[in-house]
Amino acid sequence: MDLIIRNGTIVTEREMFKADLGVKDGKIAVIAGDLSDLPCENVVDATGKLVLPGAIDAHTHLAFPFGGTVSSDDFFAGTRAAACGGTTTVFDYSGQAKGETLLETAKRREAEANEDGPAVDYALHVGITDLSNNLLDTMQEAVDYGISSFKVYMVYDFGVKDGDFYQVLQKSKETGSLICVHAENKEVLTTLTEQFAAEGKLSPWYHYASRPEFVAGEADRRAIAWARSLNAPLYIVHMSDKEGVEAVTAAKDEGLEIYMETCPHYLHFTRDVFKREDGRNFVCSPPMKGQESLDALWEAVKRGDVDTIATDHCPFQQSEKDWGKDDFRKIPNGCAGVENMYPYILSKANEGVISFPRAVQICAANPARIFGCTQKGSLTVGKDADIVIYDPTKEFTVHQENMHSDSDHTIWEGLELHGYPVQTYSRGRLVYDNGAFVGERGWGKLIKRASRK
Ligand code: URP
Ligand code: ZN
Ligand code: ZN
């Protein structure tokens, strides 16, 4: 064995049990009650600790062009931060440049990632922005390359029209791919934004006020209606509102294959953050909503209707957030979170809000299953040895100084967590050790994924 983790409590999405775990050639080779007889020079004692699969963050934006700048974490900085928070695979939303085929976008981003040198493994979803030149005829070749999910935005200047979204859904069925959607009503939020601007209402609060609950809820229902009409699977990203939760829950009850992702910031903050002096730092789309939505999201996490937790990691530097101090329209949308997701959810499990197996399910097993990452997401013999050792007794307070992103501030400043990852392994290699990144630039590889056919 190259590594044996002894005396820990293994957590799967179904159960927790005491066992030893052996790693050989980057894969989990054996899980058994007692591996003390196996020869190994690297034995880690995990007495009193939990041994978990590394998390999969299925929603990040690395070096993402937005609002006149580019998000501040590239593939190295973002994956370094991920590793230090127990996340061993990140998905990037790679945006199609005008005229590019979907495979060209994927290959361009793969080259950019290789240049940055990811610290843990990564996968790519491609965001579809331009359907001209029979773009959808190129979907199959991207799927064949291992890019089996695509995204449409119903908002932003790079978003698509409803008819284009519908065609993308049609094609996804043919190609065995999954469509992810950012669902908000662009027309209504644009109108509200213009009305507020005309009245001089431009503080960060009006970012929320121009995108209140129904702006997302209506779009969620519209997206589901088209998926229903085609019997196509659909993955709704960053769910933030009660209306949307209710719509997805009803769709699931109908038997539709509709997946719901939410993010830690929607589970922790309400729209009140936009009234804070640093409210601009919280500006992301969709914005955090009222307490009712936060409660509805937690209920859906607990009863199983939220399928995945992801971060929408898209940090911008303080000076860039400051562009919109007095005009929310100038604030680049997005926040850092990739290092905080697993510690936050595991801390909730440690407090008894959800179980540890449920935390593993929504942060690792489900994203692996939904997105065809067949070698990831669980502590099972034969899978990649992406492992987190978690100390449930370690108290940790988030400060900018103990984060590992290139972002110069964090919306999670001062958050007190009960329990924290102490080691992270990526394919059996130690990448995070007690507060320090100990991985290597360029270690991470592109994960090519299975199609749904
Ligand atoms: O505010 C956000 N979420 N920025 C990133 C782009 C997106 O909508 O996911
Ligand atoms: Zn989005
Ligand atoms: Zn996003």
What local confidence, expressed as pLDDT, does residue 383 receive?
A: 98
Mean pLDDT by 10 residues, the chain (453 residues): 98 98 98 97 98 99 97 98 99 96 98 98 98 97 98 97 98 98 98 98 98 98 98 98 98 98 99 98 98 98 98 98 97 98 98 98 98 98 99 98 98 98 98 98 98 93
Q: How far is the CA of 390 from the centre of ligand 3 (A)?
A: 28
Q: How far is the CA of 191 from the centre of ligand 2 (A)?
A: 19
Architecture of domain 3-52+378-393+413-437: Roll (2.30)
For 255, other C-beta atoms within 10 Å of its C-beta total 8
Q: Annotate 34-103 with DSSP letters as a single string.
A: --TTS--S-EEE-TT-EEEEPEEEEEE-TT-EETTEE-S--HHHHHHHHHHTTEEEEEEEEEPPTT--HH
Give yes or no on whether 3-52+378-393+413-437 and 67-370 have one common fold. Answer: no
Please say whether the beta carbons of 76 and 116 come within 8 A: yes
Phi, psi of 201 (to 5 degrees): -95, 95
Residue found under tokens 């995990």? 46
Q: What is the DSSP letter of 315?
A: -
What local confidence, expressed as pLDDT, does residue 283 receive?
A: 98
What local confidence, expressed as pLDDT, does residue 63 receive?
A: 98
Those residues whose C-beta lies under 8 Å from the C-beta of residue 234, and which sit 6 or more positions away, are 169, 178, 179, 181, 223, 224, 227, 257, 258, 259
Q: Which atom of ligand 1 is nearest to the CA of 284?
A: 1
Q: How far is the CA of 42 from the centre of ligand 3 (A)?
A: 39
Mutate-to-test residue for ligand 1 from 312, 316, 330, highest number of ligand atoms within 8 A of CB = 312
> What is the distance between the alpha carbons of residues 370 and 362, in angstroms, rounded to a whole number?
11
Q: Is the dihedral of CA 300, 301, 306, 309 positive or negative?
A: positive
> What is the distance between the alpha carbons of residues 43 and 272, in angstroms, rounded to a whole number?
48
Q: Degrees (nearest 5) of the Cα angle 342, 410, 49? A: 25
What local confidence, expressed as pLDDT, does residue 256 receive?
A: 98
* β 436-437/50-53 pair status: unpaired
Q: How far is the CA of 283 from the centre of ligand 1 (A)?
A: 10
- The closest residue, in CA terms, to atom 5 on ligand 1 is 334
Residue found under tokens 């108290």? 395
- The closest residue, in CA terms, to atom 9 on ligand 1 is 312
> What is the distance between the alpha carbons of residues 204 and 221, in angstroms, rounded to a whole number?
27
- The closest residue, in CA terms, to atom 2 on ligand 1 is 334
Those residues whose C-beta lies under 8 Å from the C-beta of residue 417, and which sit 6 or more positions away, are 343, 344, 347, 395, 396, 397, 398
Q: How far is the CA of 285 from the centre of ligand 2 (A)?
A: 6
Please say whether the beta carbons of 336 and 278 come within 8 A: no
> What is the distance between the alpha carbons of residues 290 and 269, in angstroms, rounded to a whole number?
9
What local confidence, expressed as pLDDT, does residue 239 receive?
A: 98
Superfamily covering domain 67-370: Metal-dependent hydrolases (3.20.20.140)
Q: How far is the CA of 156 from the centre of ligand 1 (A)?
A: 10
What local confidence, expressed as pLDDT, does residue 380 receive?
A: 98
The domain limits of the chain are 3-52+378-393+413-437, 67-370
Q: Which atom of ligand 1 is nearest to the CA of 61?
A: 5
Looking at residue 244, its amino acid is: G
Mutate-to-test residue for ligand 1 from 333, 335, 338, 411, highest number of ligand atoms within 8 A of CB = 333
Q: How far is the CA of 287 from the centre of ligand 1 (A)?
A: 10
> What is the distance between the alpha carbons of residues 233 and 257, in angstroms, rounded to a whole number?
5
Which residues does ligand 1 sit against, CB inside 6 Å? 61, 182, 284-285, 312, 314, 333-334
* β 436-437/429-433 pair status: antiparallel
Nearest to 109 by CA among 121, 120, 98, 93: 93
* β 87-95/121-127 pair status: parallel
What local confidence, expressed as pLDDT, does residue 254 receive?
A: 98
What local confidence, expressed as pLDDT, does residue 95 receive?
A: 97
